[in-house]
Structure 1
Amino acid sequence: MKTIRTLFAATTALCAATAVSATELEVTHWWTSGGEAAAVAEFAKAFNATGHTWKDGAIAGSGGVARPIIISRILGGDPMHATQLNHGRQAEELVEAGLMLDLTDVAEAEGWRDIVHPTSLLDSCTVDGKIYCVPVNIHSWQWMWLSHKAFADAGVDVPSNWDEFVAAAPALEAAGKIPLAMGQQPWQSSGAFGVLTVAIAGPDAWLEVNANKNAEVAAGPEYAKVFQAAAAARAMAANSNVQDWNQATNLVITGQAGGQIMGDWAQGEFQVAGQVAGVDYTCLPGLGVNEVISTGGDAFYFPKNDDPEITKAQKELASLMLSKEVQVAFNLKKGSLPVRGDIDLSAANDCMKKGLDILAKGNILPDGNQVLSADTTGQIEDLMVEFWNDPSITAEDAQARYAEIIASAD
């Protein structure tokens, strides 16, 4: 009996200790589409398995909607415990204000600099030598997604590059298809413009303008070709009357539209819809012209708090997000590339394998969020919204205004 009582007491004490150490963390993010929700559920499942609790704080809408809400809460003294942001300069001012948890001890203990590839992702989390975020994926804008059904219905071959896509547009329209699916959110048109820039003007020109803020190149002949291409894209997207990016992706999935310029997160939507890369849809990195990967993506930041148990749980979550198992499970659902270069992704589909191959070759560019301030990015988005929605704005006028923004960019 004494043994039973002893065991019971020990079990009770263990349960009590576990209950005390179990912590609930509120995690905010803007992953609300079908593919995104399936991916973030992998984070939640892994964290809950530790005995802690993931309190989901999904914010409907895009990052442009969510980020001001997230930042307002942190500045207003009502911070969440962890939050998605894009790795880059979006959290720069919050870090400088001392509002974000320093993760350097975790990063050094686990050798993040040795496993995160490319290391520029970790550099984007680093301010004054200290690491303030955990990068969880590589999301590249540099993709175009093509519907096999749409082109079959139009009686033309699936294009292998941008020029072939433009040439096929009349046949798509004659078949009652929207050539180019495009949502109405500002970041979508701005992002598509960036993809066109890399494909048509080339990576060097893109770097010269975005990284070096060279307004002369922005006003020059290479960028003139980009704006002409953007004007053609605007005409092809004229009847794409949807708002959200995943609604535009659905037009491609259902064969109502020929293609969409969108980042690799679109791949998660094709997966949820049960479509197979190379069978139901084709992906063109760099529009089939300049095959590069931009190393943008998502990272998680952890606002400071005064509770040591919460701080401990925050660091556990940061570590978990970068673990091999979670990196595989999350990125296979998300359609993004892992930030670890030492994991097995044999289950990746054709499009993800294309991205991994490009990454392995070192054909990479920084993401716009890594080289442009939030203010400059906002100005470019405002211009692109006007341009894509108002055909009276000529390519020449838009280019002149764009060059002015670059001339004063920070």
Structure 2
Amino acid sequence: MKLSTKLLSATAIVGASAVSAAELEVTHWWTSGGEAAAVAEFASAFNATEHTWIDGAIAGSGGTARPIIISRILGGDPMHATQLNHGRQAEELVEAGLMLDLTDVAEAEGWADVVNPSRLLDACTLDGKVYCVPVNIHSPQWLWLSHDAFAKAGVDVPADWFEFVDAAPALRDAGLVPLAMGQQSWQTSLAFGALMVAVGGTDLYIDVLTNKNADAAASEDMTKVWEAYAAARLLSEGSNVNDWNQATNLVITGQAGGQIHGDWAQGEFQVAEQVAGTDYTCLPGLGVNEIIATGGDAFYFPKQDDPAIEAAQKELASLMISQEVQVAFNLKKGSLPIRGDIDLSAANDCMQKGLAILAAGNVLPDGVNSFSADTAGQIDDLTVEFWNDTSISVEDAQARYVDIIASAD
């Protein structure tokens, strides 16, 4: 990748102190086809400098990778850069002084002026200092639908979650799985949050996940969310795959009607050369409330006792948020760019939907940003247990949920 004069000028502040080429080990959990194509754009841009990207991909999901990443940092064997999500996942590492301060880069390049929404840069900031570079906006509230599957079932492609539920019997009769769902716990937790936006609505979402309002968690609207979640677990019976991209492949190949999943699923559709609007349909907010929560990925840079390495780390941070690299990366990833000042006219139909929602300001904070790791873990454990054990009633699950929200930190 040829870097522009403008980009090279912008990164001069971080490259000036580099006295030699550096090799940086970069850990991440992007290993599916679409993810690998996207992260290759970061590696290519970095390798176009005098430095070298050493790929440290960790197979599995973030739930698998994060403990490994954190253990290495705490154990004195840090990588040079690592993916984590926006939110409070790295808060204790920052407070312990283990992460590189990127404030000088952020201020020199005006990150505060271009990151949209601004809360994602805020999530990288502690005590006025910036410790990570946000690289994308991911929204988990999408319903992905296979045109082939609904043609086999002899019914129209649904326009929203409720029509999808109504079409499920026809899919079963055609020998298809209505709802593809991988067995990893975070996937079922993601579905719960998506249904909360679609069925419960934005006021409920904010009241529970931002305001930590236990009364809202006990409301009739929240009961409807749990009922929808109970229906979804029945629709997924027969979806015997583990990884999220395997579930996406069931939709791509017409073996399943749909999947509740994040916008990164479209990277898999692109690798399969499927066309949005022709081969598949994507419904933000499950087609009910076209509002998306804005979370995503960020890169942190564990401190190193080496000025040359530190200079290379800052150069990588600068590249990741640069205009050229943001376009290349996000077009492959299926995520929205973190910058509000770039042209994505080449984006497909699904990404254009997300961009329109973002431009209209119809966004919500990601639920994980408000909770400690302990509280988030309790919620995940409950939603996963409920999904896997049909003997747990909606009433019992909601009562336990209320207790968690009441004591949330």
Global fold match (TM > 0.5): yes
Once the two structures are overlaid, the 10-residue window that deviates more, 27-36 or 375-384, is: 375-384
Task: Please state how far the C-alpha of 1:378 moved relative to its aligned partner.
Answer: 1.1
* Equivalent residue number for residue 42 of structure 1: 41
Spell out the pairing of 1:239-388 with structure 2 (5 A cutoff): 239-388=238-387
Q: Structure 1, residues 41-67: CA drift from partner, whole Å, max 9, x if none?
A: 000000000020000000000000000
TM-superposition CA deviations, 1:299-357 (whole Å, max 9, x none)? 00000111000000000000000111100000000000001111110110000000000
CA distance in 1 between partners of 2:42 and 2:74 (Å): 26
State whether structure 2 residue 233 is matched by structure 1 residue 234.
yes
Q: Which consecutive unaligned segments of at least 5 residues does structure 2 have? A: 1-17
Listed one character per residue, the Cα deviations across residues 210-235 of structure 1 (whole Å, up to 9, x for unaligned) are: 11111111111000000110111010
Retained in 1: the 8 A contact 2:26–2:82?
yes
1:55 counterpart SS class:
strand
Which residues of 2 match residues 5-404 of structure 1 at below 5 A? 21-404=20-403
TM-superposition CA deviations, 1:6-40 (whole Å, max 9, x none): xxxxxxxxxxxxx9611000000000000000000
Q: Deviation per CA, 1:111-131: give whole Å up to 9, x if none.
A: 000011111110000000000
**CA offset at residue 290 of structure 1?**
0.6
Pairwise CA distance, 1:373: 1.5
Tell me which stretches of 4 or more aligned residues in structure 1 moved more than 6 Å: none
CA deviations on 1:104-152 (whole Å, 9 max, x unpaired) are: 0000000000011111110000000000000000000111100000000
The amino acid across from 2:115 in the alignment is V
Question: Per-residue deviation at 1:186?
Answer: 1.1
**What is aligned with 2:7?**
none
| More displaced 10-residue stretch of structure 1: 54-63 or 372-381 | 372-381
SS in 1 for 2:158: coil
* Contact 1:137 1:331 (C-alpha < 8 Å) held by counterparts: yes
Counterparts of 1:246 and 1:388, CA distance in 2? 19
CA distance in 1: counterparts of 2:163 and 2:384, whole angstroms:
26
The Cα RMSD (Å) is 1.1
Cα deviation, 1:62-100, whole Å, max 9, x if unaligned, reads 000000000000001100000000011100000011100
Per-residue CA distance 1:260-311 (angstroms, 9 max, x = gap): 0000010100000110000000000001111112110000000011100000
Residue 6 (structure 2) aligns with: none
Matched AA of 1:331: N
Q: Give the greater-gyration-radius structure (CA).
A: 1
Q: Given that residues 86 and 369 in structure 1 are in contact (C-alpha distance below 8 angstroms), is that contact kept between their aligned partners in structure 2?
A: no
Secondary structure at 2:82's aligned position in 1? Answer: strand
Distance 1:195 1:64 in 2: 19
TM value normalised by structure 2: 0.95
Letter in 2 for 1:356: L
**Matches of 1:22 and 1:43 in 2, distance apart?**
17
Q: Which secondary structure does the structure 1 equivalent of 2:133 belong to?
A: strand
Once the two structures are superposed, residues 138-195 of structure 1 have per-residue CA deviations (whole angstroms, 9 ceiling, x without a partner) of: 0001111000000000000000011100000000000001000111111111110000
How far is 1:372 from its partner?
A: 1.6
In structure 2, how many angstroms separate the alpha carbons of the residues matched to 1:189 and 1:408? 23
- Kept in 2: contact 1:90–1:369 (CA 8 A): no
Larger displacement relative to structure 2 (390-399 or 172-181): 390-399
Q: Is the 8 A contact 2:19 2:308 kept in 1?
A: no
Gaps of 5+ in 1: 1-18
- Matching residue's letter, 2:84: L
Shift of 1:369: 2.0
Identity %: 79
2:124 touches 2:132 (CA, 8 Å); kept in 1?
yes
What is the identity, as a one-letter code, of the residue corresponding to 1:178? Answer: V
For 2:266 and 2:203, the matched residues in 1 are separated by: 27
